[in-house]
Amino acid sequence: MKHQSTLLIIALLLCGTLTMKATDYVLLTPLDTAALPIIPEKDYGGNIVRQTLDKDALWSSTQKHLARHHFSDESVYKTMLKLYRHTHKHYVTFPVAYWSQTPQGDSLLVSGRVYLPKQRYLNGIVIANHYTMTSDAEVPSNMLSMESVFAMKGYAVIMPDYVGYGLSRDEVHPYLHWRSAAQTAIDLLDCMPQLLDYYGYNYPIDVVVTGYSQGGAVALGVTRMIEERDSLWVVRKLYAGAGPYDPAATYLYCVERDTMGIPAAIPLIVMGLSDAYGLGFELEDFFLEPLLSHYDDWVLSKEYTVVQINEMMGSTVMSDLMTAEVLDPNHPLSDMLYEALLWNSNVGYDLLSPAYFLHSVDDDVVPLVNTENLMAQMPDDDSVSYDIGHYGSHMEASVPFMKYVYHDL
């Protein structure tokens, strides 16, 4: 396919730097010090790069370039490559393996990525939670992420792959099950003291939590988990952009309008939550052709990106993709799915940490109702702020969100 060829070309351009094998993962629990890279203590020329990243013009031109190419896989990967070329000399990054758990509570070896700046005094740790991904080749342990720019400001950046990707790719990804995703982030964070102490870093115990889209909902969940448990860590600030904080309201919004901004989310939601809660959903009860016959190839294989799956599904109209029965809110299966989505809402949680939420009124993927419902339960005050404006489409708004976080750190 054309898309597979594009991914291959980009992978070759990256010369293997960002494509890792399982043998390249550094085990964090227990810490495999023999596998750790050497990190030079001096960072030459980092200030020049930081000055460039501080300029609004860079972020504006990046947004315009990606929008002009409709945020195609190729344009995103080329942007990542350009970023890597300018910044990679100023931090060290490597994929990591550590123990977490499945939604059912069973131990599971999972993976992620760590970015460590060369300076030995850290401004803090950023837990960066990634947006919706379906190709294993693009998850943090296997590919550079835009969040690497935070390392340029003296932060250690940690990024979990989530259950179902990286070393746990044989598991079904429990999409929108925020607890399992947040747990992989918390477990990675808990590995950091031993790693940072080994390298001789000084670091504060307050952390920054961020994420956009799926990552925004996970970031809110991570913050909640840190606040609710007896933990070494405290949250300095939460930054969340356009997240499905209220997945049940999101699903109802899409069903009522008979449209789904990213149709690839449909099989992720249905089968991910079915696996997480043991609901026993059958493909033929939910999906129409061609998705019905190609679910394993397109989704379970973890070989195709969201853009590719969207194109292969061929429609954003939900009634073209799902059976009439499950689109009926009174059908038992529809009710079961709705209940599972309700269990994964963080609307109504009384947030204790300072927070910033961004959402574009023009969002074509995650409805604004998610942030509106948050605002209704958690009003704007001195510690919680909402930035709702005309930032363009869902993907376009990700750039001003990243820019805000970078400048605010």
High-pLDDT (> 70) share of the chain, %: 94
398 CB-near residues (< 8 Å, 6+ apart): 131, 212, 213, 241, 242
* Whole-Å CA distances, 75 to 33, 68, 71: 37, 9, 6
Structure tokens given for 352? 């204790």
Strands (DSSP E) along 226-347, which ranges? 234-241
167 CB-near residues (< 8 Å, 6+ apart): 22, 25, 97, 109, 110, 111, 141, 161
Tens of pLDDT, residue by residue over 394-405, are 999 999 999 999
- Structural domains in the chain? 2-246+345-408 (3.40.50.1820), 257-267+277-342 (no CATH)
Give the distance, in angstroms, between the CA of residue 15 and the centroid of all CA atoms in the same chain: 24
**Prediction pTM value:** 0.92
Alpha-carbon gap, residue 335 to 327, rounded angstroms = 10
Question: 97 and 111 in contact (C-beta within 8 Å)?
Answer: yes
The CA radius of gyration of the chain, in Å to the nearest whole number, is 20
* Whole-Å CA distances, 16 to 72, 142, 154, 205, 282: 21, 10, 26, 34, 39
Q: Are strands 355-360 and 234-241 parallel, antiparallel or unpaired?
A: parallel
What's the first-to-final CA gap in the chain, in angstroms? 41
Tens of pLDDT, residue by residue over 116-156, are 999 888 999 999 999 999 999 999 999 989 899 999 999 99
Q: Bigger pLDDT: 388 or 381?
A: 388
Question: 147 and 322 in contact (C-beta within 8 Å)?
Answer: no
Tens of pLDDT, residue by residue over 146-166, are 899 999 999 999 999 999 999
In degrees and rounded to multiples of 5, residue 157 shows phi and psi of -115, 125
- Taking the CA atoms of 28, 34, 40 and 45 in sequence, report the sign of the dihedral they define: negative
Alpha-carbon gap, residue 128 to 130, rounded angstroms = 6
**Is pLDDT above 80 for 15?**
no
For residue 256, the tally of other CB atoms under 10 A from its CB is 10
Tens of pLDDT, residue by residue over 26-73, are 999 999 999 999 998 776 667 777 777 877 777 777 877 777 877 787
> What is the dihedral angle through the alpha carbons of 387, 392, 395, 400, rounded to the nearest 10 degrees?
-50
Q: Which residue has the tokens 């001096």?
A: 42
**H or E segment to which residue 93 belongs:** strand 91-101
